[in-house]
A and B are shown apart, each in its own frame.
Chain A
Amino acid sequence: MKLYEYQAKDVFKEAGITIPNSVLIEKPEEIENALAKVGTPCVVKSQVLSGGRGKAGLVKFTKTEAEAKSEVIRLFNHDLKIKKIMIEEAVNIEKEIYVSITVDPYLGKGLLIVSAEGGIDIETLAVTQPEKIIKEPIDLRYGLMPFQASRIAYSLNQPKVVTKALIKLFLNLYKVFRKYDAELVEINPLFITKDLEVVAGDGKLMIDDNSMFRQSEFDKIQTDYKTVAEFEAAEEGIPFIQFDGDIGLMCAGAGLTTTVYDLIHYEGGTIANYLEFGGPHYKKAVKAMEICLKVPSKVILIVTFGTIARADVMAEGIVDAIQRLKPDRPIVTCIRGTNELEAVKILKAAGLEPLFDTEEAVRTAVRIAQGGSQ
């Protein structure tokens, strides 16, 4: 789960990381009070979860109160339905640095990443100038050791007071990484001010979804949802992405769903939605179909080949869903796996014509979507 910048910065502050003064506002009229506290110049920052806010015009540096006010009004009226805006003091910047801590799957260790070239896209830098990126593996059993933090801080050739502050910052950021079961904790840019202070200019904190049971202080659902279907899927924890094509996918198994997605493209079809109701969700056929029916599509394609997610249980769920929801569009089924013969019987008894071959099912769905018959 991705946190908003203001949430990440609250966490940073609590961990002893310096952040700029700021006020969070939810209505345009709150800007007066915010400006009284923060002053000008200031930075007006939309609290949205998407990256590249600067480029998208969602973060603006403003010099005067009037400029700040008109920017706030513009952003609250933005199509993205921005709910919160951070008014942050403008910092006197001497230098920008990049810092993050993540997990390196190959090493199977934590990884502290630092670059003296801050404020830029680290993925681009990784390709163009990889030598400018410092990577320090962290053994999670011992944690980030002070000598590691110190070695990296000294290598950045900063004044002593800055070096000391950076060492502390790396160690504090590691504490955040562990405490919050982070997939990624990132400060980009990390400012070194003209007064030689080290201040977090931005804050990104992504909590591992599998660890949410022990990270209860944050709401599970806080992404900005574009559609009702997306919201309902998220509420159920069902992986779902909406597109604007013809075929609604209701498949089980992440790899299989992705493969069916590829096969539809090979056959010249288009996707209305990706929905994966395997694993812990295999008994949720009714909910899954309800979500699929909220998406405009010409046909719903159901493909499964489960082991623990038994075929007979899924077939019963699908029949139940069809009887309850009375779908207004054709359904193509291809249900295989544990107890697959029972599944075929269940589907046939309900008047469906189950297919047994993925490619055939995909071709059938594409044909229907293009106006052909079942």
Chain B
Amino acid sequence: MSIFIDQNTKVCVQGITGKEGSFWTKHMIELGTQVLCGVTPGKEGQFIEGKPVYNSVKAAVEHHGIDASMLFVPPRLTKDAVMEALDAGIKKIVTIADGIPLHDMVLIRQAAKEHNAFVVGGNTSGVISPKLAMMGSFPHWIERVYKKGNIGVMTRSGSLTNEVTAMIVEAGYGVSTLIGVGGDPVPGTRFAEFLPLYEADKETEAIVIIGELGGTMEEEVADAIKEGILTKPLVAFLGGRTAPKGQKMGHAGAIISGGKGSVEDKITALTEVGALVAERPRLVGKLLEKLNVAKK
């Protein structure tokens, strides 16, 4: 088991004919992802990695019964590409683009909610269930990071995720599904919105969130624990404890505003509901042990 994506998820790749699109399509297939086709307007008839390319997502869905779309589309075209996938009835969409206009993301999030769909990203590496499948740009072959196991990971970062996940693996654990919600101020889907999926997943025995200063996503996770939406153990690592106040440092979403979003606030909110917060990446594994999470 895993959440969001596994070897049975039928994936199409929007922007498959681009450089990043074709490169990562190859690696997604290599891991075991069922990439059935791609979409690039005007390129119908071509094949990438042996998969047919269509002019529209609608055609891809008609031919292959697609249920998830992976976007390798530039930021300025992302809104249109997401709307096309939603219009074709796709409920799982991942966009890695870094630099999507803020107002476009607001419109994307509103549309996704209306369609009861998950849009993951932008500004993310995507979603991976190690050894099963991925939608995104993960070097899944690095075994000291992408090892299969029982820890559900959610993150706002890319490189920091590799850093922390390597430490989870070093401690003897592995990952069920890792979701990068992205580093932008308005992600398509927020941490707390994935918690019901992790809670229901038999394979996931504990959650690690990798957050940072700014925003309220970590506080929303604390609220979900308080409300009983998540009952599994949770460990957090939060970057920016010593960041200077009022300085824009880290991701676009990482500023302290409206008196909210400092790392101290997040630590208080999380520890009040029984979650543990690691001071350093290396301590995440130790805290999982402290919460008696089995190593699988």
Interface positions of A (Cβ within 8 A of B) = 103, 105-106, 108-110, 123, 126-127, 139-141, 178, 181, 183, 208-211, 213-214, 239, 241, 252-259, 261-263, 265-266, 274, 278-280, 304-309, 336-340, 358-359
B218 at the interface (CB under 8 A from A): no
CB–CB A262/B186 < 8 A: no
Closest-by-CB residue of B relative to A209 is B252
Contacts of A280 in B (CB 8 A): 98-99
Minimal beta-carbon separation of B170 from chain A (angstroms): 10
Q: How far is the CA of A263 from the CA of B243 in the complex (A)?
A: 11
At the interface, yes or no: B258 with Cβ under 8 Å from chain A? yes
Query: Is the C-beta of B156 less than 8 angstroms from some C-beta in chain A?
Result: yes
Query: Which residues of A are found within 8 Å of B156, using beta-carbon distances?
Result: 255
Asked if A358 and B281 sit within 8 Å, CB to CB, the answer is yes
0/1 string, B92-111, CB within 8 A of A gives 1: 00000011111100110110
CB-defined A-B contacts under 8 Å, sample of 13: A103-B106, A105-B253, A140-B107, A210-B101, A211-B101, A255-B161, A255-B212, A305-B163, A306-B159, A307-B139, A307-B158, A337-B162, A338-B142
0/1 interface trace, chain B 171-185, chain A, CB 8 Å (1 if under): 000000000000111
How far does the Cβ of B75 sit from chain A's closest Cβ, in whole Å? 6
Beta-carbon contact of A126 and B125 below 8 Å = no
- Is B20 an interface residue when CB atoms closer than 8 A count as contact? yes
- CA of A211 to CA of B252 in the docked complex: distance in angstroms? 13
- Are B142 and A255 touching (Cβ within 8 A)? no
B150 at interface by CB-CB < 8 Å: no
Taken residue by residue from 133 to 173, chain B's Cβ proximity to chain A (1 for < 8 Å, 0 otherwise) reads as: 00001110010000000000001111111110010000000
B130 within 8 A of A: no
Q: Report the stretch among B8-16, B225-233, B234-242 that lies at the interface.
A: B234-242
Question: Across the interface, do A126 and B159 meet the contact criterion of CB distance under 8 Å?
Answer: no
B103 touches A278 (CB 8 A): no
A210 partner residues in chain B, CB cutoff 8 A? 75, 99-102, 184, 252
CA distance A76 to B106 in the complex (A): 42
User: A105 to B217, alpha carbons, bound, how many Å?
Assistant: 9
A204 to chain B, nearest CB (A): 14
Give the docked Cα–Cα distance between A64 and B223 (Å).
Answer: 57
Measured between C-beta atoms, what is the minimum distance from B25 to chain A in Å?
Answer: 14
Partner of A256, one of B157, B184, B242: B157
In contact, A305 and B239 (Cβ under 8 angstroms): no
State the Cβ distance, A239 to closest chain B Cβ, in Å: 8
With known contacts A108-B110, A108-B186, A307-B138, A256–B247 Cβ distance under 8 A: no
Complex Cα spacing A337 to B253, Å: 24
Cα A209 to Cα B107 with chains together (Å): 17
* B142 and A340 form a contact (CB under 8 A): yes
> Which residues of chain B come closer than 8 Å to A278, judged between CB atoms?
158-159
Chain A residues positioned under 8 Å from B20 (CB to CB): 308
Instruction: Determine whether the beta carbon of B220 is less than 8 Å from that of A262.
Output: no
Q: How far is the CA of A315 from the CA of B54 in the complex (A)?
A: 38
Pick the contact of A105 from B100, B142, B213, B215 — CB < 8 Å? Answer: B215
B51 in the interface (beta carbon within 8 A) = no
Assess whether A123 is in contact with B258, with CB atoms less than 8 Å apart: yes
Q: Which residues of B contact A110 (CB under 8 A)?
A: 106
Nearest neighbor of B122 in chain A, beta-carbon distance: A210
Q: Which A residues touch B157, using CB under 8 A?
A: 253-256
Write out the residue numbers on chain B whose beta carbons fall within 8 Å of the beta carbon of A209. Answer: 252
A103 lies within 8 A of B102 (CB): yes
Other-chain residue from A183, A261, A304 in contact with B159 (beta carbon distance below 8 A): A304
Contacts A181-B101, A258-B249; A141 near B158 (Cβ below 8 A): no
Instruction: Find the residue from A254, A262, A274 having the highest chain B CB count within 10 A.
Output: A254
Residues of A within 8 Å of B115, CB to CB, are none
Bound together, the chains give a CA A339 to CA B241 distance in angstroms of 31
B43 to chain A, nearest CB (A): 23
CB distance from B165 to the nearest CB of A (A): 10
